[in-house]
Amino acid sequence: MTSQPTTVSVGYETLRDFIQSALASQGLPEGDAFKVASLMAEADMQGSDGHGVIRLPQYIKRIRAGGINKHPQIRVVHERPGSAVVDGDNGMGHLVVSQAVDLAIEKARHCGVAWVSTRMSNHAGPASLYSRMPLQHDMLGLYFAVGNANHLPPWGGTDMLLSTNPISAAIPGAQEAPVVLDMATTVAAYGKVKAKAKRGEQMPVGWMIDRQGQPLTDPNRAGEGFLLPIGDYKGYGLALIVGLLAGTLGGGAMGRDVVDFNADHVSTTNTGQAILVIDLSAFGDPAVFKQAVDKLVGDIRNSERLPGVDRIWLPGEQSHLRRERYEVQGIPIAPGLLTELDALARELNITPLLQESPA
Amino acid sequence: MTSQPTTVSVGYETLRDFIQSALASQGLPEGDAFKVASLMAEADMQGSDGHGVIRLPQYIKRIRAGGINKHPQIRVVHERPGSAVVDGDNGMGHLVVSQAVDLAIEKARHCGVAWVSTRMSNHAGPASLYSRMPLQHDMLGLYFAVGNANHLPPWGGTDMLLSTNPISAAIPGAQEAPVVLDMATTVAAYGKVKAKAKRGEQMPVGWMIDRQGQPLTDPNRAGEGFLLPIGDYKGYGLALIVGLLAGTLGGGAMGRDVVDFNADHVSTTNTGQAILVIDLSAFGDPAVFKQAVDKLVGDIRNSERLPGVDRIWLPGEQSHLRRERYEVQGIPIAPGLLTELDALARELNITPLLQESPA
C-alpha cells in the first residue's frame, strides 16, 4: 500500500513540546529546553521555516558532538547604563540572545536607547524573532547578526570572508501590524539555494556567480561559487558593517574566524549578535508615533501600482498574515521534514511529532 | 579668443572661506557661516562632490526665499540619558546635525551608546560627514537620513513615497583608515542620474524604470520614471525603515510630507536625521577592537580576486585616498561649477572663488 506524501499541519504547542522533549532528551535543563523550543516554534509560526524546527536535527547533532554548552553561565562581561556585552558561554543561541534582548529592553527604559552585543553565542534562528521582542513594550528593535557560514566574498573577490549577515528591524504601528524587515545582505539567503536544489529548479541569474565571475544558475553547483550581495558593492559594504557591529564589536567571530556550522558540529562558533532597542516614549508620545506609522503604511498600501501588480506589501505583512493563518490552521510540516523528524524521534527515543502516524 | 575650459583646483581653506562669505552675505551669523562652510568644504575634500560646494547656489536660493531660518533656536525637546530629539528650528542642516552629533558623543561617553534624532532640520550634506565625527573619540557612528526629495516608490508601486534615504557607518581601525560606508538605498543616487544627463550618457539598465515597469536608460527622461531600490524589495524595506528611524521617530517629515527641495525653495522641509554613537570602551579595550578591524581589512584587501579585478576596496577607502590627494593637490572644481560659482559671487557681490580669473 502506497500513500501520497501530504503536508500535515501541527499546532504551535504540539511543535513546541516536541522540540522541547528532543532538547531535554539531550540533557538541556527543562526550562532552557522550553525556552529554545518556544522560540523555534515561534519561528515556524511566523513562516521563517528555514530557521525553525527544520534546524532541530542539526542542533541535536551539535549538542551530541559537544559543540554546545548545555549548562552555560550566561553573563554580562562589560556594562554601561545603555550598553552591555553578554557572553553566552557557548550556550544555545536562543537563550543567549533572548537574555541580551531582555537586558536591552530594561536599559532602554532608562536611557531611551540600549545596545547589547553577544559573544560566545550560537545560531539563534530568524533575526526578526528578536527585533520583534521590544514591540510589546512600545519600543522598537533592530537586530544584527553574523551568519554561521561564510558564503560571500568581498566585492571583486572570490574568498568567502563574509556571511549573509542579516539585518532586522521591527517598528510598531497602532492598528496596523508592525513593520518588520528581516533580510540577508545577499540577494538570496543560502537556504533558498538549498531549497532550489531540493526542488530541482534552476536559480535566477543574479543569485550566485562562479569563480570566473560568470552567473551560476545550477543550485547543485552552489559549492563552486558564491552568493552575490544586494546592490553589488553596497551589499558587500552592508554585510561588512553588520559583521563588524554584530561580531567584532562584542568580541564575536568575524571574517576568517567564522565557523561553518553546517560542516563542523564541534568547534565553538563564537557567534556574535547585537540588539538595539529604542524606547518610543523617549522621543515623544508613542501613540503619536504609532499613528504616524499607520498613516504611512496606509499611504503605501493604497498607492498607485505598476501594471500587473495586485497588491503592495509592507515588510513583514505577509509573515503577519501567515501567522494569523497558522494560528487557525496549524503550522504546515512538509513530508520530507516530517520523515526527518520521525527518524530523529526514534533516534532520541522520544514521542514523535504526530503520535498516530497515518497508516 | 577662446580658451579650453580646464578644471581648476582650490585649497580647503580657499573653498571654505568662499562658502563662508557667500553665506554670511545673506545674513547668517559669522560663526554659523563658518561652521556650515567648513562642513561643506569637508564634503568636497572627501570627494562627496554632489554634496559640497555644488549645493551652495541652491542653499543661497533657499535662504533668500525665506526657506531657512538664519537665526534658529536649536534646542533639545526630548531627552533621556542616552537619547534626545533636537529641534533644528528650520536652521541650516549642517548646524542642526553637528549639534546632534556632539550631544550623542557626550551621551555615549556615559551610556555606552546614544541615539539623537533631529526634526525641523534641513539638507546637511553627505551622510559620512556625520558618521565620521565620533571616530576621533574612539567611538563609532551610524547615521540615517530622510532624503530631501522622493524618487522611490514602494516595491511594485509607481507613487514616489520614499526617498533615497541613506545609511552611513564609520568604524575606526588602528593603522588602517576607518571603514566608512555611505550609501543610498537605491541602486543609483539621483545626483548620478543628473550627472549622466549632463554628460550626455545613457544609464545602465537597473537604475530606473518607467511607469510601465520597463527599464529607463535615457537620463533626460528621468522625470517619467523612478529609481530602483537595491536588492529589489529589500532596498524598499531598507529605505522605509531608514525613513521611519530618521524621520518619523523624531517627528521629521516622511512619506507624503517630504518636500522636494530641488523644486520648492520656501516650504519648511522638516528634515529628520538620526545619529547613533557607540563608545568602543564600553565594549572592551578599543585598541583590541581597532586591531581586529585592521586584521579584517588586511584579510579582505589581500584576498583572492576575480579575473580582471586589480584591487579589492574597503568601503570608504577610495574616499580616504582622495582626501589625501586633495590635501596636496587641492580640490578640483569642474569648469561648469566654477562658472556657476562666479555668477553667484557677482550676484552676492562677494570675492569670487579664484580672485584672478584666467583671461
Region for residue B63 given its phi and psi (left: phi exceeds 0; alpha: psi -120 to 50; beta: otherwise): alpha
Say how far apart CA B169 and CA B144 lie, in whole Å: 9
Question: In whole angstroms, what separates CA A135 from the centre of its chain?
Answer: 17
> Which residues in chain B have their CB less than 8 angstroms from residue A295's CB?
255
Confidence of residue A202 (pLDDT cuts 50, 70, 90): very high
pLDDT for B198: 81
> Do B112 and A115 count as a contact with CB atoms less than 8 A apart?
yes
Percentage of chain B lying above the pLDDT 90 cut: 92
| Averaged pLDDT for residues B187-202 | 87
Q: Do A240 and B156 touch (CB under 8 A)?
A: no
Give pTM, 2 decimals: 0.96
Q: Which three cell numbers stand for residue B280?
A: 568602543
Identify the pLDDT of residue B1: 45
pLDDT at B4 over 80: no
Dihedral of alpha carbons B55, B60, B63, B64, sign? negative
Contact B181 A304 (CB under 8 A): no
CA-to-CA distance for B232 and B229, rounded, in angstroms?
5
Residue A3's pLDDT is what? 57
pLDDT at A199 over 90: no
Residue A62 sits at φ, ψ, to 5 deg, of -70, -40
Confidence grade of residue A356 (pLDDT, cut at 50, 70, 90): low
Of A174, A155, A171, A153, which is closest to residue A163 (Cα–Cα)? A153
Cα(B211)–Cα(B225) distance, integer angstroms: 6
Neighboring chain A residues of B283 at a CB cutoff of 8 Å: 78, 83, 85, 117, 249-251
Domain positions in chain A are 1-65+329-359, 72-186+229-318
**B129 three-class SS:** helix
Query: In this predicted structure, what is the pLDDT of residue B7?
Result: 87
A300–B157 CB contact, under 8 Å = yes
* Interface with chain A: mutation pick from B192, B216, B303, B311, highest number of A CBs within 10 Å: B303
pLDDT for res A358: 47
Determine the Cα angle at B257 with ends B270 and B103, to 5°.
30
B296 vs A255: CB contact, 8 Å cut-off? yes
Question: Is domain B187-228 classified as CATH 3.20.20.60?
Answer: no
Contact A164, A184 (CB under 8 A): yes
Classify domain A1-65+329-359 at the CATH class level. mainly alpha
Which candidate from B113, B117, B314 shows the least CB-CB separation from A82?
B113
How high is the pLDDT of residue B190? 84
pLDDT digits (tens, 9 = 90+) for A117-151: 999 999 999 999 999 999 999 999 999 999 999 99
Distances (CA, A) of B85 to A6, A172, B69, B75, B246: 55, 19, 19, 8, 11
Helix, strand, or coil (residue B332): strand
B234-274 pLDDT per residue, tens: 999 999 999 999 999 999 999 999 999 989 999 999 999 99
Q: Please list the residues that pair with A86 across neighbouring strands.
A: A76, A118
State the pLDDT confidence band at B191, using cuts at 50, 70 and 90: confident
Fold of the B1-64+324-359 domain? Hypothetical Oxidoreductase Yiak; Chain: A, domain 1 (1.10.1530)
Residue B299 has pLDDT above 50, yes or no: yes
Residue B248 with chain A: CB contacts under 8 Å: 289, 292-293, 296
Residue A71: φ, ψ to 5°: -130, 60
* Cross-chain CB nearest to A244 (options B179, B284, B299): B179
Q: Judge if B1-64+324-359 and B70-186+230-315 fold alike in CATH terms.
A: no
Question: Which residue, chain included where needed, has cell 553577544?
Answer: A118
The alpha carbon of residue B128 is apart from the nearest alpha carbon of chain A, in Å, by 14
- Report yes or no: B67 and B120 within 8 Å, Cβ to Cβ: no
Burial class (CB in 10 A: 0-12, 13-18, 19+), A355: exposed
The CATH number assigned to the domain with range A72-186+229-318 reads 3.30.1370.60
At residue A16, the pLDDT reads: 98
* Fold type of domain B70-186+230-315: Ribosomal Protein S8; Chain: A, domain 1 (3.30.1370)
Cα separation, B256 vs B250, whole angstroms = 16
